[in-house]
């Protein structure tokens, strides 16, 4: 499995970095990285402490859900990652966390409204919330159906312009062109959620950011007219 060394290393490094981001309590988080040409992704093994992870521990799974290589069981969230990779072309890495302020919105069943420029730098609109899973979906294929409700929520959204979803009652899935970029967006999302929570406490009816200011901030970082930062880091 030598040819998957690069995604194993990128995946391992990002998973090992998770505890230092403050996004994760205990082991509630995982990162995956896709080799799009091969249709194979690397993901954290289930129940292994982040600090102990080695590239060789990463489990390789194909886009049909078959384990290609790895001695350990993959994260139980692997089916969610698989469904998102299949549906969202251009996405190379997915981060899942239960970061606290974002989860507060997910548990309150509220999307995160776009209230300011920090949000607009990362998301072209509110951070969307999935619908509740039905009891039949939970019983049939809980993790796979979690992926399906995210894909369903994005039917009229571009996942490259809105690179995260709040899963109702659960947590967040965030994605990007690399593990580093997906991790950065996951950290930005948590900061945005905290800012939004405080804003709504101070002013429950706070209006969204004006459209012109939102578009200015989003477009200077994304798309053909982007001029902020370095091109390789843009989603
Ligand atoms: Zn979770």
Model confidence at 70, in pLDDT bands (50, 70, 90)?
Answer: confident
Does the model's pTM come out above 0.85? Answer: yes
pLDDT for residue 133: 98
The residue extents of the domains of the chain are 2-233
Catalytic residue status for 141: no
- Of residues 62, 121, 142, 161, which has the active-site annotation? 121
Strand partners, 217: none
- In angstroms, the Cα distances linking 90 to 85, 87, 198 are 9, 10, 34
Model confidence at 235, in pLDDT bands (50, 70, 90)?
Answer: low
pLDDT for residue 201: 97
Model confidence at 227, in pLDDT bands (50, 70, 90)?
Answer: confident
Separation CA 171–CA 130 (nearest Å): 10
Q: Percent of the chain at pLDDT above 70?
A: 96
For residues 39 and 63, the answer to whether their CB atoms sit within 8 Å is yes
- Of residues 25, 50, 124, 228, which has the active-site annotation? 228
Catalytic residue status for 228: yes
Q: Is the pLDDT of residue 55 over 80?
A: yes
CATH architecture of 2-233: 3-Layer(aba) Sandwich (3.40)
Separation CA 173–CA 180 (nearest Å): 15
pLDDT in tens, 20-36: 999 998 888 999 999 99
Instruction: Report how far ligand 1's centroid is from the alpha carbon of 230 (Å).
Output: 32
Mean of all residue pLDDT scores within the chain: 94
Instruction: Report how far ligand 1's centroid is from the alpha carbon of 171 (Å).
Output: 6
How confident is the model over 166-180, as a mean pLDDT?
A: 97
Q: Percent of the chain at pLDDT above 90?
A: 88
């Amino acid at each position: 499995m030598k040819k998957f060394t690069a995604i194993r290393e990128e995946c391992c490094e990002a998973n090992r970095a998770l505890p230092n981001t403050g996004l994760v309590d205990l082991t509630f988080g995982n990162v995956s990285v896709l080799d799009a040409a091969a249709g194979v992704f690397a993901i954290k093994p289930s129940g292994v402490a982040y600090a102990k992870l080695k590239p060789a521990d990463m489990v390789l799974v194909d886009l049909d859900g078959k384990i290609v290589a790895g001695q350990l069981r993959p994260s139980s969230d692997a089916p969610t990652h698989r469904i998102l990779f299949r549906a969202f072309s251009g996405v190379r890495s997915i981060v899942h966390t239960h970061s606290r302020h974002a989860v507060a919105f997910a548990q309150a069943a509220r999307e995160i409204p776009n209230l300011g420029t920090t949000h607009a730098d990362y998301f072209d609109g509110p951070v969307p919330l999935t619908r509740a899973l039905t009891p039949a979906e939970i019983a049939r294929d809980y993790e796979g159906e979690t992926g399906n409700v995210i894909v369903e929520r994005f039917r009229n959204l571009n996942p490259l312009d809105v690179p995260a979803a709040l899963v109702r009652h659960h947590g967040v899935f965030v994605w990007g062109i690399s593990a580093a970029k997906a991790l950065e967006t996951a950290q930005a999302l948590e900061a945005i959620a905290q800012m939004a929570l405080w804003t709504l406490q101070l002013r429950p009816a706070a209006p969204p950011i004006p459209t012109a200011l939102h578009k200015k901030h989003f477009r200077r970082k994304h798309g053909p007219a982007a001029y902020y930062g370095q091109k390789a880091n843009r989603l």
